[in-house]
């Protein structure tokens, strides 16, 4: 572990959770679980490397130990998030597949959503594409050109600052 930066304390982490909305709390849990998954995969690879190395590898063993400590801290943080959600009077919903939830609960829909019927037939998307329900859309980035709005240039009546704000954001 780096001597320059120390992990946030559990008390400070719990205090920071107070300002987050419920969806952000669940997003934080997802982030923590994703990090745990990467650390566990890394540990598996390191253990395999140690097994094939003559005499083992002290540095790899140390890295595994550090990763295990980090995983424990992350699991403790997940428990803190769960406690925060429950302290707000909300029921904790386990989204990692360990609890049996029906499909509508898993995506945050209420019981009334159970009556919604999804079509079995293909759905036609833009450019006469045929998309199957539940199938990810696989379009190349090149086919996603600028939107009509962008290619039309400045909008009448809009100011430059407003157009600047609309172009800012996170691009994935």
Residue predicted with more confidence, 54 or 80:
80
- Per-residue pLDDT band for 134 (boundaries 50, 70, 90) equals very low
Query: pLDDT at position 37, please?
Result: 97
- Beta strands per DSSP E along the chain: 123-124, 130-131
Among 142, 143, 110, 137, which residue's Cα sits nearest to residue 122? 137
Q: pTM of whole model > 0.75?
A: no
Mean pLDDT is highest, among 49-53, 109-113, 153-157, for: 49-53
Which pLDDT score, from 0 to 100, does residue 122 have? 44
How far CA 28 is from CA of 9, 44, 51, 110, 146, in Å, comes to 16, 24, 35, 23, 32
Quick one: pLDDT at residue 168?
A: 59
> What region does 147 belong to: left with phi over 0, alpha with psi -120 to 50, or beta?
beta
User: Which carries the bigger pLDDT value, residue 5 or residue 75?
Assistant: 75
Q: SS3 for 172?
A: coil
pLDDT digits (tens, 9 = 90+) for 58-107: 899 999 999 999 999 999 999 999 999 999 999 999 876 444 334 434 44
Query: Can you give the pLDDT at residue 7?
Result: 87
pLDDT band for position 123 (cuts 50, 70, 90): very low
Torsion of CA 12, 13, 17, 22, to 10 degrees: -170
Could you tell me the pLDDT band of residue 3, with boundaries at 50, 70 and 90?
Answer: low
The pLDDT assigned to 56 comes to 74
The reported pLDDT for the residue numbered 94 is 85
**62-86 burial code (b ≥16 CB/10 A, e <16):** ebbeebeeebebbeebbebbeebbe
């Amino acid at each position: 572990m780096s001597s320059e930066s120390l992990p946030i304390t559990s008390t400070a982490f719990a205090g920071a959770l107070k300002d987050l909305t419920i969806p952000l709390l669940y997003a934080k849990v997802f982030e923590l679980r994703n990090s745990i998954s990467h650390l566990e995969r890394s540990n598996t690879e390191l253990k395999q490397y140690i097994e094939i190395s003559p005499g083992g590898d002290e540095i790899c063993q140390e890295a595994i130990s550090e990763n295990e400590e980090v995983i424990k801290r992350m699991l403790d943080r997940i428990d803190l998030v769960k406690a925060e959600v429950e302290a707000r009077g909300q029921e904790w919903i386990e989204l990692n597949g360990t609890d049996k939830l029906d499909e509508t609960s898993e995506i945050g829909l209420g019981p009334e959503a159970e009556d919604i019927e999804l079509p079995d037939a293909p759905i036609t998307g833009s450019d006469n594409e045929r998309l199957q329900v539940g199938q990810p859309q696989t379009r190349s980035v090149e086919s996603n050109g600028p939107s009509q709005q962008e290619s039309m240039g400045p909008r009448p009546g809009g100011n430059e600052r407003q157009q600047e704000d609309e172009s800012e954001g996170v691009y994935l």
